[in-house]
Amino acid sequence: MADLRINLAGIKSPNPFWLASAPPTNTGYQVQRAFESGWGGAVWKTLGDPIINTSSRFAAVHFNGHRVAGFNNIELITDRPLDVNLKEIYETKKLFPDRALVASLMVEPKREKWHEIVKKVEAVGVDGLELNFGCPHGMAERGMGSASGQQPDLVERQTYWVKEAARTPVIVKLTPNITDITATAIAAARGCADAISLINTINSLAGVDLDSWNTIPHVAGKGSHGGYCGPAVKPIALNMVAECARNAKVSIPISGIGGISDWKDAVEFLLMGATGVQVCTAVMHHGFRIVEEMIDGLTNYLDSKGIERVSDLVGRAVPRYTDWGNLDLNYAVTARINTETCINCNKCYIACEDTAHQCIERAQDEESGASYLKVREEDCVGCNLCAIVCPVEGAIDMVEQPAAGVPMSWNERQAAIAKLSMKGA
């Protein structure tokens, strides 16, 4: 059976599935129950000066009958005293010495404040520290969270301050609310971070009630921007993880976060460079025991691929991720409709006719007279839209075509044109 153990910058755990710093890791009771269910690690809900949280504070985006496609919250860091949290962290680590227990931290951007909290937290036996430079609401208005995380110089400086005092590995949690996440990832590496975690939540407003006109959620008729997470953010998170993983200036381990709901999502993050993953929304939706299926699914997947260790998956797909200018413009696929499985719902025809390249037509069988849908392959550009909207699995295949010429990317094309221009000159 495959070995699921990971080592993230010196932080070891029996599997790559950690709970992210969030409501599920607010107390020792919760984290201990999670560990009993099989979670390999947990990042304790962010510690700092306790605050007062609002009521109400959560909202969700439901889509096409799917509950919690996205999740929004305006909850801040811990509202429990630091000494209470530290006592429970100590007790939890004693009960589960083989699990990764990481403390999420957020204080004012002052060197002495970071040194003070680092020493207190490490004294109770945590395995590592995660610096919360990503919270987009509430704390950011106080000069912390994403207010720090959006400024590379502050990321570097505060990371360095923590490293001055820390004796355990330091993970920097990055905000996605920035133009280029690699800028802050590089800054964290310059500040001597041992790893990065990403993404934190995305600035958002979940909705507006059409009857009351209140925001969702609202607090006594007033609303505020919150942090967005859940399945809807997964493509954004996966891209940002990949961008950091392929950037040579980052070159530190990654803990992947953002919309991970099952073992398949986890594998995608691992393939794109994450050493391990953190989960929040799926747990809030379904409970701690989802980790059982995650562990079984990942184990079976590795066994089916003949892969002995989960660490062997890390980054395997990163070389396949590149800039658009490096893509082969002579590569071609075309759609092909399987008439035996097609149910003639016309979804592909409508999508292609109205919004793509008008290359699907209705045809008629000469013998039976039955109508069917057919792709004019010479006009098909291989955009994938028909296969995407088709409700029947396998009814439309995207078929690779013989190359129209030697592989040629946009960058190569432009270089060739420039070379010819120089010769002509």
Which H or E run includes 13?
strand 11-13
> Where residue 125 sits, what CATH number does that domain have?
3.20.20.70
Which H or E run includes 189?
helix 181-190
Answer yes or no: do 217 and 341 share one domain: no
Answer yes or no: do 271 and 330 share one domain: no
> Cα 12 to chain center, whole Å?
21
Q: What tens digit of pLDDT does each residue of 33-52 get?
A: 999 999 999 999 999 988 88
Answer yes or no: do 197 and 286 share one domain: yes
Residue type, 393: E
Range of the domain at 40: 6-320
- Report how far residue 208's alpha carbon sits from residue 249's, in angstroms, rounded to the nearest whole number: 42
Contact by Cβ (8 Å): 223, 214? yes
Is 415 part of any domain?
Answer: no
The pLDDT of residue 404 is 77
Please pick, among 135, 244, 280, 342, the residue that the annotation labels catalytic.
135
Q: What tens digit of pLDDT does each residue of 111-166 get?
A: 999 999 999 999 999 999 999 998 877 677 777 778 888 999 999 999 999 999 99
> Cα 51 to chain center, whole Å?
27
Mean of pLDDT values over 349-372: 93
> Where residue 384 sits, what CATH number does that domain have?
3.30.70.20
Residue 375 has pLDDT above 90, yes or no: yes
**229 counts as catalytic:** no
Answer yes or no: do 328 and 314 share one domain: no
- Report how far residue 172's alpha carbon sits from residue 192's, in angstroms, rounded to the nearest whole number: 10
The pLDDT of residue 139 is 75
Is 188 part of any domain?
Answer: yes
Answer yes or no: do 34 and 89 share one domain: yes
Compute the mean pLDDT over every residue in the chain, rounded to the nearest whole number.
94
Is 36 part of any domain?
Answer: yes
